[in-house]
Structure 1
């Protein structure tokens, strides 16, 4: 392999697109955990001993998700800057549809955790922790706003889930390809045992 080929290969491996896709799957995993744990913990009776630990875990993953989302947005802005300073996008209906869907997804990725902070901070001060580290409140304690925060977090979460389904439908080929990869991996691991 020549030095030019090595440089080209190395630049592809370290490309912003690869970074975007890596963070995409980390975010997808975090949101899956948030949805599953959030749905499960909200159904538990208050007497269950590990309910508080689940809430703390849910909030910690929410904070991690916000950090990953911030990194992804910074990388995305860098990619857009490089791409669209060289040439303008083709403003086709498909381009507008894709931008609208992705903009909605980013809005929900941001709004759902912020609504969770609002709900938590309204309920009780200093109760959002990042794996044990108490974070400063973003919103003041306000018992009158607890139900508003709860409803906001709930409805934004499930609207976000609907947009994730739309995104999956729009990316159906990618979903099928990843499903085949996962199926092959599981089958190969099952054959070994």
Structure 2
């Protein structure tokens, strides 16, 4: 009977917990990226705060690359702990999940890199991480701006399709988290009314 809290405590302090924390942090960052990206694409030149919105969007793109690097290191740690004890069962369900997660990780990398390509093609030294100018990954080439815009657009929206597939695959987790969030909000409202 006492072993259950110990197991739960060990799970809460594990690399898996760090991985899930990074997961939700990156999910929030990508939500911000999708909202700002789709919003700023509709803005015309001369719109107030347009360039600041672009700078913020680019900073968030650079941030998710850094978070992705951290996430991959933690994921390798989780895999090491899990798969050195026993290998996975290569069932069709495991293979589907592995394939989907592999594609998600590829898109997590490809979306910001395609954004860097688009941005660097337009102008050199214009990607910043909240004020810190980052080195160009691609040379400036005005002939590639339209190609960069198109690649970034399509990769981002294909990534969104895979996020939706991932959400549907994890629907039980989504519902459980939604219930936890609702309870948190109810408890918070009750504590405010006292």
TM-score (norm 2): 0.91
CA distance in structure 2 between the partners assigned to 1:172 and 1:6 by the alignment: 26
CA distance in structure 2 between the partners assigned to 1:62 and 1:109 by the alignment: 10
2:130 is equivalent to residue 131 of structure 1: yes
Deviation for aligned residue 1:8: 6.7
CA distance in structure 2 between the partners assigned to 1:99 and 1:172 by the alignment: 17
Instruction: Specify the alignment match of 2:183 in structure 1.
Output: 184
CA RMSD of the aligned region, Å? Answer: 2.1
CA distance in structure 2 between the partners assigned to 1:108 and 1:176 by the alignment: 25
Change (3 A) 1:30 1:81: same
Change (3 A) 1:188 1:14: closer
Deviation for aligned residue 1:6: 9.8
CA distance in structure 2 between the partners assigned to 1:12 and 1:176 by the alignment: 21
CA distance in structure 2 between the partners assigned to 1:49 and 1:161 by the alignment: 28
SS of the residue 1:101 aligns to? helix
Give the gaps of 5 or more residues in structure 2: none
Aligned pairs, how many? 191
1:79-98 correspondence to structure 2 within 5 Å: 79-98=78-97
SS of the residue 1:22 aligns to? helix
1:150-189 correspondence to structure 2 within 5 Å: 150-189=149-188
1:67-86 correspondence to structure 2 within 5 Å: 67-86=66-85
Deviation for aligned residue 1:49: 1.7
Deviation for aligned residue 1:81: 2.0
Change (3 A) 1:175 1:13: closer
CA distance in structure 1 between the partners assigned to 2:148 and 2:114 by the alignment: 6
CA distance in structure 2 between the partners assigned to 1:175 and 1:8 by the alignment: 23
Deviation for aligned residue 1:13: 3.5
CA distance in structure 1 between the partners assigned to 2:111 and 2:150 by the alignment: 11
CA distance in structure 2 between the partners assigned to 1:52 and 1:76 by the alignment: 35
1:97-112 correspondence to structure 2 within 5 Å: 97-112=96-111
Deviation for aligned residue 1:166: 0.3
TM-score (norm 1): 0.92
For residues 12-50 of structure 1, the C-alpha deviation after alignment (integer angstroms, 9 at most, x for no partner) is: 443100000000000000000000011111111111120
SS of the residue 2:155 aligns to? helix
2:16 is equivalent to residue 14 of structure 1: no
Deviation for aligned residue 1:173: 0.5
> 21-30 vs 175-184, which deviates more?
175-184
Deviation for aligned residue 1:190: 4.2
Deviation for aligned residue 1:181: 1.8
Deviation for aligned residue 1:183: 2.2
CA distance in structure 2 between the partners assigned to 1:8 and 1:185 by the alignment: 24
